[in-house]
Copies of this chain bind each other. A is one copy, B any other.
């Protein structure tokens, strides 16, 4: 399929700078663009490529300033990243969809599923599992007893959902992610540990996406909850009874310990850790590799470091940290000179 700049600009409600009849039939990265492809620029780091790209059409933000003449046709839009996302979503929605129930799957007599589902080979649906309409379950997925999966959700190969857990509508769970494994609860005895059975579940609300190899433990009692619109990256640890607020984003390899409650619209960067039994306010941002040891009660707070602390103060401490050896020498020197002065003064 081929599209003109005019067709794309109309779809995106953007304005054209260049040739409205310029045609593209594929998508490229701006730095690797070739004739016949459409690229985009959202990150200023990549603006320099506008002068060298071979792409025929480039999607850019309305306010992009140019220093010299360029060869591609531009389509200017309010938000180039969002516009690009819309185009890609249009493109992928037209790809052929997996459908049908593979005879090599196992579906319990008491399980049910809706219209237009795909259930792949070697996938297991347990007793009383309920799967909505248009759900795509790839091969080798485990859907335990009494699990509910909402409409339009995609479970990629090897996802494992333990019994009694709930996954909402329009969710995407990537390969080998585990939902509902036991929380890490042990009562210390005399040198050994007694297991605390974990009888709660996990509730994943609508529009949630998790990456691959994520671990989301079931609650001891009650539910571990990912609220509507939560986005988790890969290899993340969500402990028992954690609750994550709507539209909060958690980046790769971060971990959240038991019973901590995270607000809405938070951003938890990669490899950060949050201690258990804390409360994190809405709109909080936690820097990469931070270690949060106390509740963060101020909406919109930004923290960094291990232990995590005010972002800009920590940034300053990080700069001085590099000067520690110098500071130490200067301190020694000062003491020496001061002592000399004191001796001279007596």
* Interface set, chain A 223-273, CB cutoff 8 A to B: 229, 231, 233-235, 237, 239, 241, 246-247, 249, 251-253, 255, 257, 265, 270-271, 273
A316 within 8 A of B: yes
Cβ-defined contact, A29 with B222, below 8 A: yes
Interface check A207, CB cutoff 8 A: yes
Given contacts A207-B192, A337-B342, contact A288 B316 (CB under 8 A): no
Asked if A22 lies at the interface with its beta carbon under 8 angstroms from chain B, I say no
Most chain B beta-carbon contacts within 10 A, residue among A138, A213, A217, A331: A213
Pick from A13-21, A65-73, A80-88 the stretch touching chain B. A80-88
Find out whether the CB atom of A162 lies under 8 angstroms from the CB atom of B175.
yes
A186 and B77 CA atoms in complex are apart in Å by 18
Within the complex, what minimum Cβ distance (angstroms) separates A136 from chain B?
13
> In the bound complex, how far is the Cα of B213 from the Cα of A217, in angstroms?
11
Copies in the complex: 3
User: How far does the Cβ of A298 sit from chain B's closest Cβ, in whole Å?
Assistant: 17
Let me know if A341 and B342 touch, CB within 8 A. yes
Residues of B within 8 A of A139 (CB): 106, 124, 142
A127 to chain B, nearest CB (A): 10
Given contacts A139-B106, A235-B237, A341-B345, contact A178 B175 (CB under 8 A): yes
Q: Give the residues in chain B near A106, CB-CB below 8 Å.
A: 102, 104, 121-122, 139
Tell me the A residues contacting B by CB distance below 8 Å.
27-29, 32, 43, 45, 79, 81-82, 84-86, 88-89, 91-92, 102, 104, 106, 120-122, 124, 138-140, 142, 144, 156-158, 160, 162, 172, 174-176, 178, 181-182, 184, 186-187, 189, 191-197, 199, 207, 209, 211-215, 217, 221-222, 229, 231, 233-235, 237, 239, 241, 246-247, 249, 251-253, 255, 257, 265, 270-271, 273, 275, 277, 288-289, 291, 305-307, 309, 313-314, 316-325, 327-328, 330-331, 334-335, 337-338, 341-342, 344-345
